[in-house]
Amino acid sequence: MKLSKFGFFLFAIVTHSVWGQFSAPESELTKATTEEGYLFPVEPGNNNLLAGTMGELRSNHFHSGIDVRTNGRIGLPVLSSQKGYVSRINISAGGYGNALYVTHPNGQTTVYGHLDRFSEKIADFTRKEQYRKKTFSLNLYPSPGQFPVGRGDTIAFSGNSGSSAGPHLHFDIRDRNNDALNPLVFNFSEVIDKTPPIVQKVALRTVDINSRINDQFGRFEFYVVNDGDNYKLPYPILASGNIAVEFLGYDRLDNSRAKCGINHIEMAANGNIIFRQIIDKVNFGETRNILTLMDYPTLQESGERFNKLFIDDGNDLPYYDRSLGRGIISVKDANVPLRIMLRDTYGNQSQINLTLQPSNVTEKVNILSAPKQPLSYQIMENILEVDVQKNMGDTLEVFSGKTASRLTPTYGNDRANVYLIDLRKTLPDSVKINGQTLVTHFKDFVPSGLSYKYYSDPVDITFPKGSLYDSVFLTVNHKLDDREIFSIGDSRYPMDRNITITLKPTLSYSEKFSVYKLSGRYYQYMGGSWANGRVSFTAREFGDFILLEDTNAPTITKISVNSAAARFRIKDDLSGISYFEANINGEWLLMNYDPKISTIWAERLDGSKPLQGDFKLKVVDNAGNENIYQQKIP
């Protein structure tokens, strides 16, 4: 990915001539409420602050509801938002943790997640089912007449279970198709918002090899500054050819520090709307496709969630007015003024204004700085950009199989030269200049939309149909140093579905070794099954993979064990916890689990019955190592 360039800019006054066109089509979701409407699920009638809104951009999914803050408190009554019946009960260590689903007469369902505990009748039923099935994790679908509820009935108490980062209530409203609707359109007076969306940066990117931004190829970021509700880049950006735009920003509700999502976005070029994105519902089957809406390489490198203002290849999300085109801007002979219009659910609006000024493509780029390395490269879309320090010379040799060619710089100056190579035409094995060689490790072109198999000496890879969002120029590198590393693909390519990878190690391993993905300083357990000296596993991310043996059993640390409670901290140093089980006097004992704090605790079927007798706890990691704790409880 092209290294970002930063600019600092001032604000200018804008007009509102385009706002008349900026209106979302009427949605059926606002018609679906009952006469009473929905009740706010926590402390209704009191002002409430949200920590998240529907449709905001998370790292690998769209947020499907609102996160209701509980001010750090656990145990607030959670009320059924409308009459109906409990249609689903879910308990898991991750996700929503303890969650309830209530289906209503209008066919919609409300969801309450990260609960601390359920109301008494639901809790008793759930605990009995956990004991009957001998499992902590549970997914139940009660009959419509089993747990009827009225509007305002207490069904649970707020908590911090599952993947919650702090005490709060996750609240969804879903339609008959299980699509998540925007709860804020249901007119909850408890949430106040008069604050417009906030913008931090704008990014411009070239779309093809002939496009330029400020005379260069790549992706470039610019800071904006604001005055009131509007933002601007105060002087034109030089551009040529086809250009795409992204922005980094968020919505903020009144008196809240949370960075929430912006549901309505439009972009106009020369006064004409060319892009519209409206997120008013989230389909759970497509939520991972958020990776095509955001700039994924930037997310991987910096963690910043830039929203693309164009429809990229592989993006099938339904949030766009596709009759407007893809949102690509063509800069030719005249200035192109751009207005990016942002609106939150409450109608608060802000704008970004910038101008693209046409500039002829030139081979002399004065602002080009010298690269840090004598010879380096990066990939953007279908283009390989090779950056060379000027003192290395002007002729780049490109090797592809047995074919060699020579290239002169695409552009440069007295400090650096830049060479652009269309990978659809040439897939280089390596490039060389002034005796220095850079190996690219390109091995194959993998098309999207098709099933595909790649075979080589170090690895085989199976790509099922639909696993890739876009075609991939596959890199593979097998390194033998103090350990064996299999580098497969570029982690900046997102995937929708798992691929199957078979490693063919040259070193000797027992079948106790498992595959791990290198994630910074950490190892992510991938598992794998052995056959004929090869190990196969599935992955949904490219990266570096190694083989390690986990010989250490999990640790069990007693927190408290007595007739009233049995509580432990469990951890594993490599492969991770696979499962745990406990019994008292030989009878299965429920152990609740919160992996955020690595803690498990006992819960008897009959809460009035003390824990007495022979207690045994077994904890097993993913490599099969186990640890056992035993104690007689008097």
d(CA 434, CA 421): 19
Instruction: Give the pLDDT of residue 9.
Output: 35
Beta bridge partners of 397: 406, 432
For residue 186, report the phi and psi dihedrals to the nearest 5 degrees.
-90, 15
Q: Is the pTM of this model over 0.75?
A: yes
Instruction: Give the pLDDT of residue 111.
Output: 96
Question: Taking the CB of residue 515, how many other CB atoms lie within 10 A of it?
Answer: 23
- Give the H or E element holding residue 291: helix 290-293
- pLDDT tens digits for range 157-199: 999 999 988 999 999 999 999 899 999 999 899 999 999 999 9
Instruction: Give the pLDDT of residue 16.
Output: 35
Closest by Cα among 145, 172, 41, 35 to 84: 145
What dihedral angle (degrees, nearest 10) is formed by the CA atoms of 407, 412, 414, 417?
Answer: -50
Closest by Cα among 149, 161, 76, 89 to 125: 89
Instruction: Give the pLDDT of residue 258.
Output: 81
Pairing of strands 430-433, 436-439: antiparallel
Residue segments in the chain with a per-residue pLDDT below the cut of 50: 1-34
d(CA 53, CA 183): 8
Give first-to-last CA distance, the chain, whole Å: 64
d(CA 564, CA 575): 32
Going through 175-280 in order, the beta strands assigned E by DSSP cover: 180-181, 198-206, 212-213, 219-223, 225-227, 230-232, 237-250, 264-269, 272-278
Closest by Cα among 441, 464, 468 to 453: 464
Q: How many CA atoms lie within 13 A of 521 on its CB side?
A: 1
Instruction: Give the pLDDT of residue 5.
Output: 37
